[in-house]
């Protein structure tokens, strides 16, 4: 039963060149991140060793040589100040950035589906309480609260995990709202009523009758959560409260880059480029997934189409 629409979605997805390119870029990035230790070994470097002899201490630590000290030993040059290998730091940084973003998305989707299902399929009181809570959560600025929450966590707590939890716990509102709306429209359908009359428990109904129908909209929304999460992680690390050195992430690299933008432009451009390409590829692919799963949807990125106004939702916030 599920075969036909799925293959249709695949076909539509593959038919879009932008989606294919975005997917290829992301796949390449994932491979680079996964193979970080291997590639760094190939280069003969690691992300944490200091190379004092490669930076000019008389000029405050600017790398010797042009373009940030690019050489046969250091393919993308070295980090100003410390002389750590930039290629290795970028690759290891990709691991943190992608892993945190994906982990946070998983937490967001799990929480969003659980709360949305409970609100949509549960009683009226439960729905009211959960929906108001979701509204408040959506209204609050995620970055500000994420920053604040990191203050109360003990020092020894692993930072990447902390980032996953903080971003995940604060960012499930959108998923929950979508799941609730879908559940409300599903619960009146015949197959759900039949399952209820057959004496299935609410948990069974949720798992067998509701969840399969929720997969497409949730997947679509999740695809668009990933780029947002990448940016939030980078922002937190940029503010110096995400991952801490010697661990690198793209945001952490950019945070140190603020002091070097005059002397070593490449040190700013490389992590910026990585971050931008990833976010754009995720956004393009997410949009393509959305239109492929639901052909009635118009692409948000398409040009020259008339689209209904995206006015701020009424009553969205307390």
Partner 1 sequence: MTAYVLRRTGGALLVLLLLSVAVYALFYVAPGDPAKLACGPRCNAEQIAQVRDQLRLGEPLPVQYLHFLQGLVTGRDYSTGTGVLHCPAPCFGLSYQNDQPVAQLLASRLPVTASLAIGAMVLWLLLGVGTGLLSALRRGGATERVLTVLTLTGTATPVFITGLLLLMIFCATLQWLPFPTYVPLTEDPEQWAWNLLLPWTTLALLESAKYARLTRSATLETLAEDHIRTFRAYGLRERRIVGRHALRGALPPVVALNAVDLGTMFGGAMLTETLFGLPGLGRLTVESVRTVDLPVVVGAVLGVGAAVVLANAVADVLYALADRRVTLT
Region 99-138 residues binding partner 1, contact defined as CB under 8 A: 136
Instruction: Pick the closer one to partner 1 by CB: 92 or 238.
Output: 238
For partner 1, the binding residue among 90, 119, 241, 243 (CB under 8 A) is 241
| Site string (256-295) toward partner 1, x via CB under 8 A | -xx--xx--x--x---x--xx--xx--x------------
Token pair listed for 82: 């410390």
For partner 1, the binding residue among 227, 249, 252, 285 (CB under 8 A) is 227
Q: Least Å distance between CB 150 and partner 1?
A: 6
For partner 1, the binding residue among 24, 126, 128, 140 (CB under 8 A) is 140
Residue 196: Cβ-neighbour burial (10 angstroms; 0-12, 13-18, 19+)? middle
Task: Report residue 101 CA to chain centroid gap.
Answer: 4
Residue 58: Cβ-neighbour burial (10 angstroms; 0-12, 13-18, 19+)? exposed
Q: Which 3 state secondary structure label does DSSP give 85?
A: strand
Token pair listed for 271: 């992590």
Q: Does 67 bind partner 1 (CB under 8 A)?
A: no
Instruction: Pick the closer one to partner 1 by CB: 10 or 67.
Output: 67
SS3 content of the chain, % helix, strand, coil (to 5): 70, 0, 30
Separation between Cα atoms, residue 142 and residue 290, nearest integer Å: 24
Binding residues for partner 1, total number by CB under 8 A: 54
Q: Least Å distance between CB 262 and partner 1?
A: 4
DSSP 141: -
Q: Does 17 bind partner 1 (CB under 8 A)?
A: no
Instruction: Pick the closer one to partner 1 by CB: 41 or 136.
Output: 136
Token pair listed for 287: 């949009």
Instruction: Pick the closer one to partner 1 by CB: 156 or 188.
Output: 156
Task: Report residue 46 CA to chain centroid gap.
Answer: 26
For partner 1, the binding residue among 1, 58, 125, 151 (CB under 8 A) is 151
Q: Which 3 state secondary structure label does DSSP give 290?
A: helix
Q: What length does the chain have?
A: 318
Binding stretches for partner 1 (CB under 8 A):
136, 139-145, 147-154, 227, 231, 234-235, 238-241, 251, 254-255, 257-258, 261-262, 265, 268, 272, 275-276, 279-280, 283, 301, 303-304, 306-312, 314-318
């Amino acid at each position: 039963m599920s075969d036909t629409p799925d293959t249709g979605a695949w076909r539509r997805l593959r038919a879009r060149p932008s989606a294919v390119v975005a997917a290829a870029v992301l796949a390449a990035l994932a491979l680079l991140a996964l193979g970080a230790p291997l590639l760094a070994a190939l280069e003969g470097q690691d992300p944490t060793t200091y190379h004092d002899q490669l930076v000019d201490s008389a000029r405050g630590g600017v790398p010797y040589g042009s373009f940030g000290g690019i050489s046969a030993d250091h393919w993308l040059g070295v980090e100003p100040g410390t002389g750590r290998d930039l290629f290795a730091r970028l690759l290891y940084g990709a691991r943190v950035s992608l892993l945190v973003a994906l982990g946070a998305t998983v937490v967001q989707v799990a929480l969003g589906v659980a709360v949305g299902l409970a609100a949509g399929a549960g009683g009226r009181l439960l729905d009211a309480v959960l929906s108001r809570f979701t509204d408040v959560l959506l209204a609050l600025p995620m970055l500000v609260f994420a920053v604040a929450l990191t203050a109360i966590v003990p020092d020894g707590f692993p930072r990447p995990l902390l980032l996953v939890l903080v971003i995940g716990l604060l960012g499930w509102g959108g998923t929950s709202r979508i799941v609730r709306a879908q559940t409300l429209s599903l619960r009146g359908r015949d197959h759900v009523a039949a399952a209820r009359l057959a004496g299935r428990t609410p948990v069974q109904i949720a798992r067998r009758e509701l969840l399969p129908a929720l997969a497409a909209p949730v997947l679509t929304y999740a695809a668009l959560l990933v780029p947002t999460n990448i940016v939030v992680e980078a922002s937190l690390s940029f503010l110096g409260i995400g991952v801490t050195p010697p661990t690198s992430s793209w945001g952490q690299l950019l945070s140190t880059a603020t002091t070097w933008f005059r002397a070593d432009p490449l040190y700013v451009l490389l992590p910026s480029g990585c971050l931008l390409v990833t976010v754009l590829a995720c956004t393009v692919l997410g949009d393509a997934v959305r239109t492929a799963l639901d052909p009635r949807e118009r692409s948000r990125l398409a040009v020259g189409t008339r689209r209904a106004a995206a006015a701020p939702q009424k009553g969205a916030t307390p």
